[in-house]
A = this chain, B = another copy of it.
Amino acid sequence: MEFWFTEKQTDKFGITAKVKRTLHTEKTDYQQLDVVETEEFGNMLLLDGMVMTTERDEFVYHEMVTHVPLFTHPEPKSVLVVGGGDGGAIREVLKHPSVEKATLVEIDGKVIEYSKKYLPTIAGALDDERVEVKVGDGFMHIAESENEYDVIMVDSTEPVGPAVKLFEKGFYEGIYKALKEDGIFVAQTDNPWFQSELVKNVYSDVKEIFQVTSLYTCNIPTYPSGLWTFTIGSKKHDPLNVPEERFHHIETKYYTKELHTAAFALPKFVTDLIK
Could you list which residues of chain A lie within 8 angstroms of chain B, going by C-beta atoms?
A: 6, 10-18, 38-41, 57, 60, 193, 217, 219-221, 224-227, 252-256, 258-259, 261-269, 271
Instruction: Name the residue of chain B whose CB is nearest to the CB of A267.
Output: B254
The 5 A-B residue pairs with the shortest CB-CB distance in the complex, in nearest-first order? A226-B226, A262-B265, A262-B262, A12-B39, A12-B40
Q: Oligomeric state, in number of copies?
A: 2
Beyond A13-B39, A220-B226, A261-B265, list 4 extra A-B contacts (CB 8 Å): A6-B16, A60-B267, A262-B262, A262-B265
Instruction: Write the nearest CB–CB distance from A78 to chain B, whole angstroms.
Output: 28
Contact at A13–B6, with CB atoms within 8 Å?
no
Contact at A15–B14, with CB atoms within 8 Å?
yes
Instruction: Write the nearest CB–CB distance from A193 to chain B, whole angstroms.
Output: 5
Task: Tell me which of B12, B16, B39, B193 contacts A38 (CB under 8 A).
Answer: B12
* Contacts known (A15-B14, A40-B10); A269 close to B254, Cβ less than 8 A: yes
Chain B residue numbers with a CB within 8 Å of A261 are 262, 265
The 30 sampled A-B contact pairs (Cβ below 8 Å) are A10-B40, A11-B18, A11-B39, A12-B38, A12-B40, A13-B17, A13-B38, A14-B15, A14-B17, A15-B15, A15-B16, A16-B16, A57-B193, A60-B267, A193-B221, A217-B219, A219-B227, A221-B227, A225-B226, A253-B268, A253-B269, A254-B268, A254-B269, A255-B268, A256-B268, A259-B266, A259-B268, A262-B262, A262-B264, A262-B265
